[in-house]
Homo-oligomer: A and B are copies of this chain.
Amino acid sequence: MNRRSSIDADGKDLPRSIGGRITDQLRVEILRGDFAPGARVSIKVLSERFNVSLSPLREALTRLGSEGLLSSDEQRGFWIAPVSASDHAEVTRLRISFERMALQEAILKGGIEWETRVMAALYRMNRIDRSIGGAEAKEAWETAHRTFHVELLAACDMPLLLQFVALLHGLSDRYRRIFLASNPPDKSSALEHERIADFAVSRRNEEAVDLLGKHIERTGNAVRKKLMATKQTIDVSNDK
Contact = CB atoms under 8 A, between A and B. Distances in A.
A13 to B, nearest CB: 8
Given A15-B74, A20-B74, A91 B59 contact: no
Nearest to A75: B17
Interface in A90-128: 90-91, 93-94, 97, 101
* Oligomer: number of copies: 2
A63 B58 CA distance: 11
Contact of A94 (B17, B87, B161): B161
Interface string A57-81: 0110011001110000011000000
Contacts of A19: 74
A213 to B, nearest CB: 14
A160 interface: yes
A225 interface: no
Q: Is the interface of A mostly helix, strand, loop or mixed?
A: helix
A63 to B, nearest CB: 6
B66 A158 contact: no
Contacts of A20: 74
Contacts of A204: none
A54 B101 CA distance: 41
A93 B161 CA distance: 10
Interface string A142-178: 0000000000000000111100100010000000000
B58 A160 contact: no
A68 B160 contact: yes
Contact of A16 (B54, B62, B74, B161): B74
A238 interface: no
A97 B91 contact: no
Contacts of A5: 74
B17 A74 contact: yes
Q: Which of A68, A93, A158, A160 has the most CB of B within 10 A?
A: A160
Given A59-B59, A97-B101, 7 more contacts: A13-B74, A55-B55, A58-B59, A66-B67, A68-B160, A90-B158, A90-B159
